Amino acid sequence: MDAKLLQRELLELTTRVLEEGVIDKQFLEIQTLRDEDNPNFTDEVVALFFEDAQKLINEITKALEQGQNYVDFGKISADAHQLKGISASVGAKRITDLCIAFRGFCDQLISEGSLQQLHYEFSLTKNKIESIFKLEKQILAAGGMLPGM
């Protein structure tokens, strides 16, 4: 496919994902961090993020399902904080916001499906970013240039 066309498609996709609030400017910042020395920087970071985030979400889920008698809110809060930190770093905005809310819920003991929402947001973010990466790879394959490089 024509690289120009793909580039345009990528731009549109990125804009849309930005508009949806799945990612924010920080993600674009990260994309600008890759250079000739380290062209896979973004991929690596994001892959790391997915890995860590998945781990944290599993931790939170486990902590919540551990039993009805005792729920370690301290741990959940810490995990949520961690998740917030890494998602903010890669610019996964919706997860960041959710984590902020999530921590608030931990304190106030009110949460309506926020765990499910967390799972959902995570898969959504993953989906979107992966589709961006896929497009980028296609562009590279077509011999085009990526923005920020």
Residues that bind another protein (CB under 8 A): 18-19, 21, 26, 29-30, 32-33, 41, 44-45, 48-49, 52, 64, 68, 71, 76, 78, 81-82, 84-86, 88-91, 93, 97, 101, 104-105, 108-115
- Count CB neighbours of 130 within 10 A: 12
Spacing of C-alpha 132 from chain mean position: 12
Nearer to another protein, 86 or 135 (CB): 86
CA distances from residue 35 to 31, 42, 141, 143 in whole angstroms, order as listed: 9, 10, 17, 17
Rounded CA separation 19/24 (Å): 9
Q: How far is the CB of 124 from another protein (least distance, A)?
A: 15
* Closest approach of another protein to the CB of residue 6, in Å: 21
**Closest separation between CB of residue 44 and another protein, Å?**
7
Query: In this complex, which beta carbon is closest to another protein, that of residue 113 or of residue 143?
Result: 113
How many other C-beta atoms are found inside a 10 Å radius of the C-beta of residue 83?
Answer: 27
Q: Measured from the CB of residue 122, what is the shortest distance to another protein in angstroms? A: 14
Length of the chain: 149
